[in-house]
């Protein structure tokens, strides 16, 4: 299965953002600090996931 770098980064960003946002919504409000945390989680996930290369496919048996 071949997953592109873009797809991998987008999925990681969505998961990180959703996880952080769900934690922020426990008290039914999102403060400015929590909003920044969501944004930073999305950017960090995009950056780190984009930086890690996909493993090269080996010979299939």
Distance CA 61, CA 36 (A): 47
61 within domain boundaries: no
28 within domain boundaries: yes
pLDDT of residue 61: 58
42 within domain boundaries: yes
20 within domain boundaries: yes
DSSP string over the chain: ----HHHHHHHHHHHHHHHHHHHHGGGS---HHHHHHHHHHHHHHHHHHHHSPPPPP----
Could you identify the residue written with the tokens 């990180």?
16
Its domain, for residue 32, covers 5-51
Whole-model pTM? Answer: 0.79
57 within domain boundaries: no
Could you identify the residue written with the tokens 């930086």?
51
18 within domain boundaries: yes
Mean pLDDT by 10 residues, the chain (61 residues): 79 95 93 96 92 76 58
Structurally, the chain folds into a number of domains equal to: 1
């Amino acid at each position: 299965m071949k997953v592109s770098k873009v797809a991998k980064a987008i999925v990681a960003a969505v998961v990180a953002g959703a996880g952080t946002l769900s934690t922020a919504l426990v008290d039914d409000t999102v403060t400015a600090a929590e909003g920044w945390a969501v944004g930073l989680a999305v950017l960090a996930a995009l950056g780190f996931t984009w930086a890690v290369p996909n493993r090269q496919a080996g010979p299939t048996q």
